[in-house]
Structures are given as C-alpha cells and as structure tokens.
Amino acid sequence: MEQVAEISLDRLMLMSLPLLAVWGLYYKLKLKHLDFSGACLRMLSQLIGIGFVLSFLFELNQPWWTLLIFAFMLSMAAWIATRPLPKRKSAFRAMAVSLLFGCVPVLFLVVGFVLPAEPWYKPNHFIPLAGMILSNAMNAVSLAADRLERELERGSADATSQAFETALIPTLNSFFAVGVVSLPGMMTGQILSGVSPLIAVRYQIVVMAMVMGASGLSVALYIWGLERARSRP
C-alpha cells in the first residue's frame, strides 16, 4: 500500500480560494455572508478539535470513551436535525429517539459482523462509521420533519408518505450517481491510499447500504412517533 501523502499547511491554505469565491457571491447577492463566514470558521474549529480528540481517544482505546463520544455525536445530530422546526426543544427528544433506534442496529450490524474489529469499540473503526451513519440519518430526518410540517399545515392526506419520500431523495440520488457521476469520499480515500479499486468498491457498498438503512429507519421511526403523538387525545 502506498504511503498517504501529507498535505502541507501552505497547500491546505489554497483551499480557502473556493471558499472566498463563494463568500464573494454571498456578499454580492446581499445574502447572509456572515452566516457563511461563521459556518466556515465553525467547520475549521470543529475539524481541528475532533482531530485532537480522536488522537486522544485512539491512544486510550476504552469502550466507555467510545460510547460517550457516540452519545455526544447522536445528541448533536438530533439537535441539528431540529433546525428547520419552530419548536426545536420539543422536537429534540423525538429526533434523538429516532436516530438512536434507527442508527444503532445498523451500526452494530456493520461493526459486529460486516466489518468486525477487535475489539468492537476500537475508536478508529467505530467512530468514523458512526459519523457516516449519523450524519446521513440526521439530514434525512431533518428533511422529513420539515416536509411533514409543511404538508400537515396544508392539510395533505398523504403527508407521511410525502415526507418519507422527500427525506430519502438525496440518498437515493447518490445510489443512482455512485460510480457514474461520483466516487464517494471513502472509496476515493482508499484508492488514493493505494487500496485496490475492487476492494474499495466492497467497502463503499457497505457504506451505501448502511446509510440508506439507517436513514430510512430513522425517518420511519420519526414519522411513526409523531403520528402516535398527534393521535393521542
């Protein structure tokens, strides 16, 4: 396997150019350019921060630390997913429960049987997979919540099916596009690291399946929970 090329800081700084171009468009169109600036700064600080945290965790290699980080990630995903909703605090619990029971079974299927590690809680194995599952399920549930809210306001008879379908559009589109339009991040990273493309493809199939499974289950659980809550007297 080839050694992964290290990105120097001066080369990394070159990637600020496309960000500055988009910031200029925000400013010219009189959009919320400060929000864009804040998002960029938050992205940088969060990635640098998680780099140090993961380095610390990888050295510890303890199950409770791994599960604690997972719980934090799940809580943050649930909170971010409520962003489109007017009553974020009341929706947080439903989001968290949906993500918990939608993502955890898929995650443990992967780390326990499909891509088993020794031990199962190995941080450099468990946490990246958990992150991929949670981030995609978070986006799906957020889209479902937003669409469901709009359809219920309109009095739509098929609000739940519309919300479910809308939530999975990005994931479904990625299924159609993968290998034709795009090479996903995990597959690209493995190929750049010298892994055989045929092996990288197997890993990517696992990722695509776990993302769709976790997203679909989480969305279904959220919609089902909301329907139960609305049917109560």
Q: Are residues 92 and 203 in the same domain?
A: yes
Q: Which residues pair with 54 in a beta bridge?
A: none
Percent of the chain with pLDDT over 70: 97
Cβ neighbours for 39, distance < 8 A, ≥ 6 positions apart: none
Cβ proximity of 108 and 102 under 8 Å:
no
Cβ-proximal residues to 207 (8 Å cutoff; 6+ apart), any chain: 132, 184, 186
C-alpha 12/C-alpha 117 separation (Å) is 32
Give exposure, 84-123, as e/b (b: 16+ Cβ within 10 Å).
ebeeeeebbebbbebbbebbbebbebbbeeeeeeeeebbb
Domain hosting residue 3, numbered range: 1-60
**pLDDT at res. 191:** 80
The pTM is what? 0.82
Cα separation, 75 vs 182, whole angstroms: 30
Q: Is 30 in the same domain as 145?
A: no
Q: Dmax of the chain from CA atoms?
A: 63
**Residue 129's closest CA among 102, 116, 101, 110?**
110
For residues 123-152, give the mean pLDDT: 93
Q: Are residues 44 and 126 in the same domain?
A: no
- Say if CB 127 and CB 70 are below 8 A apart: yes
Same domain, 53 and 80: no
> Quick one: average pLDDT of 189-211?
87
Q: How many domains does the chain have?
A: 2
- pLDDT for residue 104: 96
pLDDT tens, position by position, 162-187: 999 999 999 999 999 988 877 777 77
